[in-house]
Every structure is written in C-alpha cells, then in structure tokens.
Amino acid sequence: MKKIITITSLCTCILNFLFISSVLGNDKLDSFLESSINSNEYVVMGKALSLSSSVEAAFDETTEVFIKSAEVDYTADTIREMGGLVHIKAGNVISATVPKNSVSAIASEDEVEFIEAAKPIGVLNDVAAGEIGSAEVHRGTNLPKAYSGKNVIIGIIDTGIDYSHSDFRDESGKSRILSIWNQTKNGGAVPTEIEDSYGTECDQNSISDGSCPLMDRDGHGTHVAGTAAARNKNYPGIAPDANLIVVSYDSSVNLQSGYAETIFSTKICQAAYYIFKKAETLGLPAVINLSLGTHIGPHDGSSLFEQCLAGLLEDSAGRAIVAAAGNEFSTEEGFKGIHAGYSVDGTNASNFVIRKLTNDRIYYLDFWGEPGSDLSVGLAFHDGKPRSTPQKYSGLIKAGQKSEGSFEDGAIQYFINYSESKSALNGKPHAGIRIKVNSLVGNISEKSFDLIVSGKGSFNAWLFPDKPARTVQFTDFSAEIGSEWTYVPGDSNSTVAMPATSPDIIAVGAYATRVKWGGGIDCCEIPIFSLGELLPFSASGPSAALQQTGIKPDITAPGGMIASTLSAQSNPNDVMLMNDGKHVLNAGTSMAAPMVTGTVALMFSADPNYTYSDVKKYLIESAYADEPVGTVPNDRWGHGKLDVLAAVETAVNGGATGHFSGNSSLGIPSSESDSGKSGCQLVISATTGSGDFVIIAMMALCISGIAIARFNRRRSYIS
C-alpha cells in the first residue's frame, strides 16, 4: 500500500530521525517537556522510516505547547507545515498543538526563542458582600450613579456552570450567560474564534432552551460564577447585572490526583482569547476570573503561559484578568510546604516526603537557580528519615547535564534534566527532577528524599503535585549529618501559583468572614479559621522575581466560608448547604478571586476605558489594612483587604488612561499562506528495499524543498 505525504511532512520525519539526540539537549525546550520525551511519553521517531513502519503513523501523537517567536506568522506557517495546529497568537506567543516528533525541528528554527510544554492546572455572598461594601455600589452610595456590572462581561474559565440556575437570569428571567465553550465535549458547533477549533459551543438560544450539553458536576465553576455575578437577594454576587461567558474544562477530578487530568495551561490561554474575542465582537469590556493555577514554572512572570495571557491585555482597555493566589501555605507540624529556596555556599539538602500516592505515581520537582548561580543538583533517597549516609544517591548533576537512575531495586525511578544552563525565558539555570514510583511500592510515605544543591548561588524549587493537599511536601528537617551536606528546611514562601505571579494579572489571597453557621446541634464551625484573619493556607509571596512582578499577592478578599450558587448537578456535603438548598459554602482563594473579578466588572460598568493597569492601581490604592493585616504591602496580604466601594470610588475619581474603542483587534490566526507551502508531493512505499540511498535522496529533496519554501515565505513576510 502506498502513502502520499507532503515533502515537508516527510522531512520532519527524517530530520527527527537524524537529530533526535539534539532534541534532548536543546536549550529552547523547557525541562518539563524534555522529561516527557526522555520518559517515552513522547513518541521517539527513530523508526519512522523503518521497513515496517508507516510514515503516516508518525503524526498520531501530538502535544500542546506555547511557542515564543520573533516572527510569529512565519513560525505559525512552520507549525502547519509540520502537521501542527495553530490555535491562537497572543503577542509573540503561539498556542499550538504539534506532533511530538516535530518539537526539535520547530525549536531549531532561528526565530523560535522557546517552547514551553502545557502544564497541568489545578482548581484552586451574604456575609462577605456586607464585609466589602458591594451593596453600596449597587445603590450608588457616594458615586455619580449606581453600578451593578451592566454591559460588562465576566469570563469564567472553570469546571462549568449550572446555566439553568435562577441566579444567572436578569430581571425579566432571561439568561445572562451569552455563550459557553465546553472544551471537552465534541460533536456540536465549535467556536469560530479559535483556529482548528474543538469542543462544543453553546449560544444563548441553546442555553435558554436547555439543550446545551453542559453540566457542572464539580460545582466549583458555578460557585465562582455566583460569587462574581449572581442575581439573588440573599446571596448576591458582586456584579449582579453583568453578562457571563463561560469556558468549561474537564471537571472529572480523580480523588487520588485531585486534578482535572486533561487541563493544561495552553487551553486556559485559548479560553481567555475566546472570551476577549467574543467581548470585542459585542463591543463590551470583559474581565476574566481564573480560580486555578500551577506550580510548574519559574514563578517570575516569564513563563510562556503568563506571557500568552499578558499578550491578550497589551495595548487594550476594558480587559483584565484576575487569578487566585493558591492554597499552598502550610501550617502543619513537621511539614513546611511545597517550596524550598535559599542561598548556597557549599552543599545543602532539603528533605521531602511523598505523603500520598497519585494514580500516575509521578512526582516532579522544578528547580530554578538565580542568574549567575553556579549550582549542581542531586537526589538522595532514605528508607525513613535522613541519616548520615543515604541509602542511595544520584550524585551531583551539573548544569547542561542529565542523569537517570533508580532506588529500591528499580521500584523508584528518577530522571534529572539539567539541560537548561541558562533558560531562554529568564537566563536562569533550570532543572526538572521527575520521580516515578512503581505500583509495588505501597509504603512510600515512610521513605524520604533529599534535594541536594551544591556550589554557590541561590535558587527556588517547587514540588508537584500539590493536590490533593499535602501530596508531596518538604519537611522541617534541619541538621548537619556527617560531612556531606547541611540540611535546610523547606518553607511556604513563594507559593503564589502561576499565572497569578504575572505582573499583568491581579493575584488574590483570601481571609475569613464566616467561621460558624447553622446546620444542627454543634454544627458547624471551622476551628482553624478566625474572623478577619487570613485563611491559614492562603498562598504567600514573594514571587521569584519581586522587581519584575511586584508584590504578590496583590490584594486579599473574603474567601471563607463563602455562600454562593450551588450547581444542581454537584453532590456537596449536606452540612455545607444553606437553608434554601440552592446555595452552598466553600472556602479558598478560588472563592476570593471572583470577589475582585466582580469589583473590576463594576469599574468597567462605570467606564470601559480603564486599562488592566488602571484597575490594578485603583484596587491597590483603595485596599485597607486593619490589625490582622499589619503594615502593607507584605507577602501574605499584599496591599491589604478589598474594599469594593472604595475601589469604585477611587476609579471614578482617578479616571481612565485607555481608550476602549481603540483596542487593536485580537484577530483570528490566519490560515497557511500559499507562499508557505512547497507544493510538492512525494509517493513512497511503506515497504521498500534498500534504505540508505532512499534516505540520502530524500534528504536532498528535503534540503532543496525547505530552502525554496523558506526563501519564498520569508520574502513574502519581508515584502
């Protein structure tokens, strides 16, 4: 049987066959991506040209990536030529789906600066509304008029929404949800805003007649949306007249991993693009709520995930993004959290423990040295607590090197990828340490590991996953054992999740406004919460680059216990239900973020010409500090507590610096131009005789074909 493929596609196969070793040493690829390649999660195309293999099969495996390029349109065409899909372009960052075997070829392009793997993302009112003064804004107290979010869009990127709930209807009973994009269910209409689109889009008609195929079984998204925009007398949202656009990702959370398994950072930026593009078409301002985040990345605003989102805000007014800071601060005795970071002059170690087994039994440690640091890293293993001599030790791995091995007779495998001696993102040395635990290891919590850091410099490192809580954590072990290294405990500093660490995104911490509620005799109370005090798990700053990101979190808002809209498809704990059976309590920075999102919607209701910098400035200026907050700004509270009325007042008096009507269009990524194609097809046989001459001949065709295509395409961009 014969296969017909484009010459570019064939060249991709050949180039990957010849250059697969360079893939694993490419300093344009982040360590998380390379760890996957090394662990065979990425298909290695070494056999793509074997006698019994189909070239077509080379393109069966794809991966989601961000690609930063100095020539975005040119790179977009390159991606398409290699069989990839370009979904959106935001500034100089592309979000794309590419064949895994083409990653090295794309990275080898001169204009490509960095390729970042999609990262797993975790999902992080009556009493609260009274605390922060939103009702006064709805009444117009001390304002030129009353504001309630009318003619503003609130974008919710979350687990979905119970679109039938009365909280999301206007005074006439019409749904205020304008559209829903379900990224995980195929089979219906797809969004036209996204190139090579996917999922299912519901318009207002299908939402109104109940035919939209979406349910929020998790309930997280519905609760968040209610906090931002519910129209309810007893449990009002901050902006009860705002319209909603919702993007739903997979809400089927596995109890062992705690993550919506299919959610990746690339999908989140595509969702934000979709919401802003919809709003642009409607001529309305929009603010997006992200009650989610990840800890794989530099935490300094330089990740392509954050750059992609920031690109959507550039040169615009009437657009803003608010994100939850995260819930990773640890107060548990003996454990210090998911972060370790300090200055090194010699050899130090930080001990950590895998406390809970996840389904995939994969754990990751992301290490980022400061620019100019000369640091080596290693991994040690103990059958129990640290001792003078570890049971096994990887040895020190220098920047630019990789190492793999195992502990426990192969039952625990590790891969240390320190290939990025100077990351293209931020100039920092970057190492990824991946640990996989065999299913035969059942008592992993009784063992421990050491992150070894040796040399001179400073670093930050984060453990993953952080859901469910306390999956893997640094311990408080602090001692000098023997003469090999000195132990330094982990900590809970720098635990604000990405993308909240972006300087362009408003990061929100959480404090308590309710600690007791009715529900029966001796029910109910959260003893670890104190009124007006920070939630004990609310993430802490600073970011990994204070000068670049500013204080993180930016502000705090009520986050526990928050009463908001209940999804009828979810199954909450009965003690958390409110008396009407239609609202439910929840807590976390996920609940605090939509308080701020709703406040920004009120600002946009007053004037759509505010830029994201304007609204952030006015939120910070109007925040207040009481006794629990102390001196501001600080790493736990940011600039203080949210005051909705003061924020809107400050914004109205301060004025806007942008021009909403002057926003540059986001546009839809253009399809492949004719000048970007070679126009050549080649017929080859899946079973052939001699291979050497064929490969040489095909290489010659590749070189000439690519050269001609590149020359023509570059000439078209220059002209």
Rounded to the nearest angstrom, the gap between the alpha carbon of residue 265 and the centroid of all alpha carbons in its chain is 4
Sequence-distant (≥ 6) Cβ neighbours of residue 694 within 8 angstroms: 684, 688
CATH class of 122-328+496-510+592-657: alpha beta
Structure tokens at 683: 């017929």
Q: Is the peptide bond before 553 cis (omega within 30 degrees of 0)?
A: yes
**AA identity, residue 594:** P
- Domain ranges in the chain are 2-117+668-718, 122-328+496-510+592-657, 335-487
Could you give the CA distance from residue 418 to residue 421 in angstroms, rounded to a whole number?
7
Give one DSSP letter per residue of 276-339, joined into a string: HHHHHHHT--EEEEE-EEB-SS-SSS-SHHHHHHHHHHTT-SSEEEEEE--S-----TTEEESE
Residues 6+ apart with CB under 8 A from 667: 89
List C-alpha distances in Å: 680 to 25, 398, 701, 708: 32, 45, 10, 11
CB 619 within 8 A of CB 634: no
- Cα atoms in the 13 Å half-sphere on the side-chain side of 286: 28
Measured between alpha carbons, how far is residue 170 from residues 46, 139, 224, 659 in Å? Answer: 59, 17, 18, 29
Q: Which helix (H) or strand (E) element contains residue 10? A: helix 7-23
Beta bridge partners of 689: none
Do strands 286-290 and 319-324 pair parallel, antiparallel, or not at all (unpaired)? parallel
**pTM for the model:** 0.84
Task: Name the nearest CA neighbour of 237 among 607, 568, 601.
Answer: 601
CA 77/CA 706 separation, integer angstroms? 13
Residue 663 has a pLDDT of 82
- Quote the longest CA-to-CA distance of the chain: 85
CB 14 within 8 A of CB 698: yes
List of residues 6+ apart from 83 with CB closer than 8 A: 9, 12, 59, 98, 99, 102
Q: How far is CA 43 from CA 20, 46, 103, 547, 574, in A?
A: 11, 9, 11, 40, 47
Q: How far is CA 267 from the centre of its chain?
A: 9
By residue count, the chain amounts to: 719
Q: Burial, 538: exposed, middle or buried (Cβ in 10 Å; 0-12, 13-18, 19+)?
A: buried
Which residues are paired to 202 by β-bridges? 180
The pair of three-digit structure tokens given for residue 628, joined into one six-digit string: 């629990």
Q: How far apart are CA 7 and CA 577, in angstroms?
A: 61
Q: CA angle, 220 as apex, 629 and 213 as ends, to 5°? A: 155
Give residue for tokens 């931002």: 228
- Concatenated DSSP letters of 512-531: ES-SB--SSTT--B-TT--T
| Residue that has been written with the tokens 């640290």 in this structure | 386
Contacts with 457 (C-beta within 8 Å, 6 or more apart), sequence order: 343, 344, 369, 370, 372, 373, 374, 375
CB 179 within 8 A of CB 194: no
Phi and psi angles of residue 626, each rounded to the nearest 5 degrees, phi first: -105, -165
Opening angle at CA 95, ends 100 and 69, nearest 5: 90
Q: How far is CA 537 from CA 256, 337, 533, 596, 635, in A?
A: 20, 10, 11, 19, 13
Secondary structure percentages of the chain, helix, strand, coil, to 5:
25, 30, 45
DSSP secondary structure string for all residues of 376-397: EEEEEEESSS--SS-SEE---B
Splitting the chain (719 residues) into consecutive groups of 10 residues, what average pLDDT does each group show?
42 43 59 59 27 32 90 94 92 91 90 89 59 80 90 96 96 96 90 94 94 91 97 95 93 55 82 96 97 93 96 95 94 92 96 90 95 97 81 92 93 94 94 92 90 97 85 90 83 96 97 81 78 94 95 96 94 88 93 97 98 98 97 97 97 96 71 37 34 40 45 46
Token reading at 57: 């099969």
Q: Are 67 and 118 in contact (CB under 8 A)?
A: no
Neighbours of 189 (CB within 10 A): 12
Phi–psi pair at 3, nearest 5 degrees: -115, 140
CATH code for residues 335-487 = 2.60.120.1290
* SS3 category, 356: coil
